[in-house]
Structure 1
Amino acid sequence: MKSETPRTNGILAGLARFCYRRRRLVLLTWVVGVIVVAFAGFGYGAAPDNDFSGGDSGSAKTQELIEKHFPEQQGDTLTLAIKADKGIDDPAARQKIEKTIADLVASPVTGPVISPYQDKDLVTADRRIARTVIPLTDQDVTKDEVKPLVATVKNASDDGVTLGLGGYMAEKAETPPQGSAESVGILAAAVILFIAFGSLVAMGLPIVTALLAIAAGLALTKLVGHLVPAPDFTLIFGAMIGLGVGIDYALFIVTRYKDGLRDDDGPESATVTAITTAGRSVLFAGTTVVIALLGLVVMGQRLMTGVAVATSITVLITMIAAVTLLPAFLGFTGYKINSLRLPRRASRRVGPPPQERRTLAERWAGVVQRKPLIAAVLAGASLLLLAAPMLSMRLSQPDASVQPRDRSSYISHEILSEGFGPGYGAPLIFAGEVGSKGADLRPVVEAVGKTEGIAHATPLRVSKDGQAVIFMAFPTTGYQDEATVDLVHKLRDEVLPRAPGGEEVLVGGPNAGTIDAAEESGSRLPLMIAVVIAMSMVLLIALVRSVTIALQAAVMNLLSIGAAYGVVVAVVQWGWLGPALGFPAAMPVTTWVPMMMFPVLFGLSMDYQVFLISRVREEYERTGDTRAAVAQGLARTAKVITAAAAIMIAVFTTSLLGPDLAVKQGGLGMAAAVLIDATIVRLILVPAVMELCGKANWWMPGRRAQKAPSPPQSEKVTA
């Protein structure tokens, strides 16, 4: 087989020449296009949709029944929690409490409120703790409209009376915006690029290219939201992923362009070479990420499909920018790509030419290849050890109990837990249709109320049409407690079927809905993993023309992702270093985080595999020596992959600076995965396994023997 050389007459080569020569037209088209799309997307895009309900679960059916027969129940509510050291009947305390309630009722977004002074059931026996429900009059109330209510309650608290406002909208209202996390990520990426390239010009190209692509991608995401709705965290994740892959893709192409200039190619020839080699790998790698993200569609959840489509669009735009906008920028820079260099770089030319010295990466590859079995076992054992906590992973949704301690919603949770039990914030809603039979479901209420783990069950409430009934029950355990999950299963599987008429009663509410969503996600996750692996392997086989390497990549990626899951469980669920990393309390992993992490991480891991193996393949086709090809491929890509991984880690880690606990979990997991992948996997496991496999690395069914290059006698085949 002849050595692979960059094609000068293919589609990519033609595209690179066009963008280079018509650089002003290409840049103008991009700038105008981004402005138009940004104006349309950010001005007229769809609002986020955070309604994860739906499906065939018991909680989803309960919600449908309530919407049908209890339309008055649809509005959201807030809960005012009150704690008075001298009791709520103390004159000073009563004056403050009544004034606060009056201020809340005066808001245009709230409905009538029953004062705890009017209903003794809203007050504890010692009359130190009380509660009341604040109904919101409109289902479309925004968090900006609720912020004044939260401020009113916080400002009313003093040493003698503590007030807290809880509820979903209260949590949203006092959650600060993401802030400058992305800006910190961009700054960190700029520093890493400057260190890697030693040039301000070379540093700027990947960042500018990525930022323009992200602006267009996020705007398109908002527009597509009219057709495929997505939750509010989608833009944050899209920005993180787009920034990471956008800078990385441009980094690989700029690095190859600089290599071409060092090989005495002219700027246009170096651009064509960069796009036909690194650009080709970018397209394959980006397509892998898109395919992996679209694997979320397999989960069968409406909003996760929206996340998949939205983030895929952002990655797709970054790919297009890398092979069109970047060549245009290279046309403007030409030989000035190395302008504004670091002063200390000049001395590095002294001494023998680079090709006569073995780089640190090449020497490291030699160390691993001398003891490949030991290296592979140690690396594999390390990954399995890191992945071990994954076996105890629990899924749920963050609630008030895991919010920062200064939040009004957390204060409300603490007061209510103290006065009415930890299960007050985790009520279960029971609903059933009675129809014309007029079935008496009071035995069901009695059976539920007597169940161990239930603190209190409310009386039956009949719908206005007389066709359905509902009642609530409060567990003795909290929203995040595993005992609450067991209680829901016990009620569904044992208590309700044994009670007269109980087989027709459904269990729902936010608590049961979270449990159902977690179990549905857990059951569908293996299918998504299988689909993503299968499709990605087909793509990798097409690129490197080797079944063995595709299998290696799949197994290694699974190990690194499993290790990342283990890190998330240890930090988030077990609480190891949790407070230091911005997690106020130990909590289950957010339900959608593992779903989102897998396709993103599998795609990104494939990125590094593509860039490394593509270079190894080039060297193998040139020399026919697997050992030398691995060493040379690692040597030529180690610096750029390390820089790319450092950028990814910096971008993902900045999510820890933000307020959203779920986004922070995802950012932590992805940063850990990239770190593990770029060190244990790429530097140890890949060279060790490829050394063990020898010529078998390049096995492909149907390939004729004469097509393979003849390896030198020195090659050691250990397969």
Structure 2
Amino acid sequence: MAAAMGAWSARHRKTALFGWLLFVILSAFLGGLHGSTEVADSEAMPGQVSRAARILDEAGLTAPASETVLVQSATLTADAPTFRAAVEQVVAGVNGTGRATDVRSPYDTGAVSADRHSVLVQLDVKGERKEAVANVTAVLDAVAAVQEHHPDLTVAELGDASSGKWIDEQFSSDFTRAEWTAVPLALGILLIAFGALVAALLPVVLAVTAFVAAGGLVALSSGVLHTTDSAGSVMLLVGLAVGVDYCLFYLRREREERAAGRDSATALKIAAATSGRAVLVSGVTVVVAMAGMFLTGIAEFRAMAYATILVVITAVLGSLTVLPALLSMLGDRVERGRLPLLGRPRRRSTATTGGRFWNAVLTPVLRRPLAAALLACAVLLGLAAPLLTMRTANLTFRQQLPAGNALVAVSDKIEAAFPGSPAPASVVIKAADIDSPAMTAAIADLRARALAGGRTHGPVNVTVHPEQNVATVDIPLNGSGNDATSVAALKSLREELVPATVLRVPGTEAPVTGRTAGSHDFNAKMTGSMPLVLGFVVVFAFLLMLTTFRSLAVAATAVLLNLLSVGAAYGVLTLVFQHGVGASLLGTAGVGAVESWVPLFLFVILFGLSMDYHVFVVSRIKEGHDQGLSTRAAVAHGIRSTAGVVTSAAAIMVAVFAVFGTLSMQAMKQMGVGLAVAVLIDATLIRAVLLPAVMTLLDERNWYLPRRLRWLPDLSHGGSVPPTGPGPAVRGADPTAPDSGPTAPDSGPTGSEQARHRRIGV
């Protein structure tokens, strides 16, 4: 298929090129015209949180964006005239904006700290989330004006709308910075890899256009499958990495064949039949691995998976069609724009053997494969060891934001003055008659038990909506919001207090929602779905490798090596972000937990992306073996001849992922660092040490396929390309010696091999 697509594109260059441009422009235009439909609160979270959101939606009610204004003095108490004046100015100023409702004075609600040096003014910002985020600016300005008039007091605001405003602005800023940093980084690495401006620009241009087209398609289809802001970030992250890598694999093979003396048409056909096939298999692996995330049943994961699938399909399509068309048009002009020093033509032996560095690494591995395998496994298991202590959680607002952030400082002050979770649990009650005496008594009983129970505290706020027969009871939980104390308080509320009070009234629903409830339900859903997703991805990867290479050993090796690299990445993630080891180097600190969605997301992404290298490298090894090399010699030649392109591809992926490790949000940092570390490990310890060591130890057993499995479809290219390496005469050659590179073609294929060549036009 890859060969046929490349051949068609080379014959219909203008059609392929202008068809791609039209596709990108139309996708972007129509997507922008349609706009994005984002995941609603009722589908964003599972469990009781989702049910509570649906009850409010069906009743036409929206949970208000609540805000809190802290007024605090180190010397004055809440009864001092100056203190009271500042509080009254806050209430008047906020009311004067016309953007807030239900402004509550602490002297009415009793929200005064135990030492009476701090009070909380509580209010709701008008509008749903986006409107509230826009409206909160006026409220913040009013609070800032009071602070300016009372410099001896602390007057600061914190809440859903103000934190949402900061997050939205920071997310946009980070996303823009990532775009403007990742693209030049990728281009710089490609300039080093190719030494020519035109060759370096092609992969970047194709990757960026693939991302633009996929973004338009995601927006266009978001009415059916809703999207999220994080899905866009993931799409950029993965799209740029795989788009550049796919083009790099293809382009380097075409350049290598030209350097070996092939004519332009033959070089392009060989690249299509080999690297093109590796790109296709890799793309299919990423797509199906990402499809496993649909099994979680979580809307944000579905959005991430869908966006990633679209960008990968688009990148594969561009690599297999537009790139061959461009290479056919450019020919050797792709080497134009050579740069001083970097632009010197590579020696053929260096281009195909990896140079001195990779020879120095690979030679001892091939001479002592058992020792190399044991040492690599020991290092990987050591890196993975902290995984045993991993704790996952939906990180709180304070954990997500960088240390020293102004909002975090306000949160810390509120927490110190008013111990307990700053975000209350909310009991959403739907009854047949919310104003009935039985329900009124049950709600009062719930309030009294919550205040007396010891796991929750006041103030408990009750809001009744008689027309909709819905009420909400907001109950602050003890603890920080996602620690064991908060979880115990949530369980007590759900399993003891609510069933013993409001649920005793027939025909009543009372799901408990809030930040702690959301984190708990999300983690429970993740824990339940993770074995299913992991099993799906592992089984599919095994079957794909088995079908692609028709070998049990290759398929099993691929899965086991991937599991080792993922485990090592998990260990580093736990060590840095949970325990804080080296976190200061990334501008952060240990937060005691890993974001709950990150491990599963990393597993799925890495299992897909690691196939980039695995399929590319093992295809080259099998190609050499099919052309007559012994397994040991094929491993030596395959690893050496792909070392350069794997190094370049890994450097690009690590650079792009590392950019996300510099962003402000903790979850983005964890995702970026986890991916960067995993790819670095995969391209070095796995591909350069463990893979050649294991394949050398297995020797001819690498290609074993039981008789009962020989019915499997043959997706291997086998002898479908002209020989590019030494022939059978070198079966006894020392594979540990530096490879001198491909020799001139032998007398050529015969019999069935010739027929296979004719079928793909080589």
Deviates more, 1:35-44 or 1:288-297: 35-44
Shift of 1:184: 1.0
CA distance in 2, matches of 1:477, 1:562: 32
CA distance in 2, matches of 1:200, 1:446: 73
- Determine if contact 2:455/2:489 at 8 Å carries over to the other structure: yes
Instruction: Single out whichever of 686-695 and 611-620 deviates more from structure 2.
Output: 686-695
How many angstroms does 1:349 deviate by? 6.5
- In structure 2, C-alpha distance between the alignment counterparts of 1:356 and 1:470, rounded to whole Å: 69
Q: Residue in 2 aligned with 1:678?
A: 683
* Match of residue 653, structure 2, among 645, 648, 653: 648
Match of 1:78 in 2: 67
CA distance in 2, matches of 1:189, 1:196: 10
| CA gap 1:612/1:182 in 2 versus in 1, 3 angstroms | same
**Is 1:168 paired with 2:165?**
no
Question: Structure 1 residues 166 and 584, CA, compared in 2 at 3 Å: closer, same or farther?
Answer: farther
Q: Distance in 2 between matches of 1:535 and 1:355?
A: 32
Aligned position for 1:414: 412
**Aligned counterpart in structure 2 of residue 261 of structure 1, from 244, 250, 258:** 258
Paired with 2:485 and 2:409, the residues of 1 have a C-alpha distance of 23
> Would the aligned equivalents of 1:221 and 1:314 in 2 still touch at CA under 8 Å?
no
Tell me what 2:480 maps to. Answer: 478
Pair 1:155–1:684, CA change in 2 (3 A): farther
Take 1:352 and 1:298, find their aligned partners in 2: how far apart are those partners?
48
Note if contact 2:207-2:243 (Cα within 8 Å) is conserved in structure 1.
Answer: yes
- Give me the whole-angstrom Cα distance separating, in 2, the residues matched to 1:692 and 1:154: 70
Cα distance in 1 for residues equivalent to 2:431 and 2:39: 33
In structure 2, the partner of 1:36 is 26
Bigger mean CA offset, 392-401 vs 448-457 = 448-457
Deviation at 1:89, TM superposition (A): 5.3
Give 1:43 shift.
3.5
1:120 CA displacement: 4.8
Matched, 1:453 2:452: no
CA change 1:153–1:462 in 2 (3 A) is closer
Tell me, yes or no, if structure 1 residue 320 matches structure 2 residue 322: no
Match of residue 748 from structure 2: none
Superposed, 1:482-521 pairs within 5 Å as 482-493=484-495, 506-521=511-526
Q: In the alignment, is residue 251 of structure 1 matched against residue 248 of structure 2?
A: yes
> 1:367 Cα deviation (Å)?
1.3
Higher mean C-alpha deviation, range 493-502 or range 403-412: 493-502
User: Is 1:545 matched up with 2:534?
Assistant: no
Contact 1:59 1:512 in 2 (8 A): yes
What is the SS of the residue equivalent to 2:123?
strand
Report the equivalent of 1:430. 427
Instruction: Tell me, in whole angstroms, the C-alpha distance in 1 between the residues paired with 2:250 and 2:451.
Output: 66
Q: Secondary structure at the match of 1:138?
A: coil
CA distance in 2, matches of 1:502, 1:715: 83
Are 1:16 and 2:6 matched, yes or no? Answer: yes
Q: 1:505 to 1:447 in 2, by over 3 A?
A: farther
CA displacement at 1:383 relative to structure 2 = 1.8
- 1:211 maps to amino acid: V
Question: Take 1:56 and 1:264, find their aligned partners in 2: how far apart are those partners?
Answer: 60
Q: Note if contact 2:199-2:334 (Cα within 8 Å) is conserved in structure 1.
A: yes
Note the alpha carbon deviations across 1:523-582, whole angstroms, 9 max, x for none.
211110110111222222222221211111111111211221222222222122324313
Distance 1:431 1:273 in 2: 64
1:5 aligns with none
Q: Residue 171 of structure 1 aligns to which amino acid in structure 2?
A: S
1:237 Cα deviation (Å)? 0.8
Find the partner of 1:275 among 252, 272, 275: 272
- 1:621 CA displacement: 1.1
Matches within 5 A, 1:115-514: 115-117=105-107, 119-142=108-131, 143-154=133-144, 156-157=146-147, 159-175=151-167, 176=170, 177=172, 178=174, 179-344=176-341, 360-402=357-399, 403-423=401-421, 425-432=422-429, 435=432, 438=438, 440-441=441-442, 442-456=444-458, 458=460, 463-464=465-466, 470-493=472-495, 506-514=511-519
Residue in 2 that maps onto 1:658? 663
Q: Aligned partner of 1:608: which letter?
A: Y
Pairwise CA distance, 1:454: 2.6
Matched residue pairs, number? 703
Distance 1:295 1:379, change over 3 A: same
Letter paired with 1:338: E
- Contact 2:109–2:459, Cα closer than 8 Å, also in 1: no
Q: Aligned to 1:105, which of 95, 103, 120?
A: 95
Q: 1:679 to 1:154 in 2, by over 3 A?
A: farther
Q: Is the 8 A contact 1:163 1:411 kept in 2?
A: no
Q: Distance in 1 between matches of 2:82 and 2:354?
A: 82
Aligned-partner Cα distance in 2 for 1:689–1:280: 24
| Mean Cα deviation higher: 220-229 or 463-472 | 463-472
CA distance in 2 between counterparts of 1:13 and 1:507 reads 57
CA shift, 1:674, in A, is 0.5
Q: Does the 8 Å CA contact 2:95/2:101 hold for their aligned counterparts?
A: yes
Secondary structure in 1 matching 2:408: helix
Q: TM-score, normalised to structure 1's length?
A: 0.89
Deviates more, 1:441-450 or 1:75-84: 441-450
Deviating more after overlay: 204-213 vs 360-369: 360-369
Unmatched 5+ stretches in structure 2: 712-717, 720-726, 736-762
Question: Is 1:608–2:610 an aligned residue pair?
Answer: no
SS at match of 2:121: strand
* In 2, Cα distance between equivalents of 1:201 and 1:408: 46
The structure-2 alpha-carbon separation of the partners of 1:640 and 1:487, relative to structure 1 and needing over 3 Å to count, comes to: same
Helix, strand or coil at the partner of 1:480: coil
Whether the aligned pair in 2 keeps the contact of 1:67 and 1:74 (CA below 8 Å) is: no
Which deviates further from its counterpart, 212-221 or 387-396?
387-396
Deviations 1:22-74 (A, max 9, x none): 333332222232222212213422143263756762333344445566x5563
Q: Distance in 1 between matches of 2:46 and 2:231?
A: 25
Distance 1:607 1:139 in 2: 43
CA distance in structure 2 between the partners assigned to 1:167 and 1:133 by the alignment: 10
Cα separation, 2, equivalents of 1:584 and 1:467: 46
1:428-462 Cα deviation digits (max 9, x unpaired): 22345564682543554444444443334627665
Measure how far apart 1:301 and its partner are: 1.7
**Coordinate RMSD, CA, aligned:** 3.3
Could you list the per-position Cα deviations for residues 562-618 of structure 1 after superposition, in whole angstroms to 9, with x for gaps in the alignment? 221222222222122324313355142222222322211110011111111100110
Residues 342/484 of structure 1: CA separation in 2 closer, same or farther (3 Å cut)? same
d(CA) in 2 for partners of 1:313, 1:87: 59
Q: What is the one-letter code of the residue matched to 2:414?
A: L
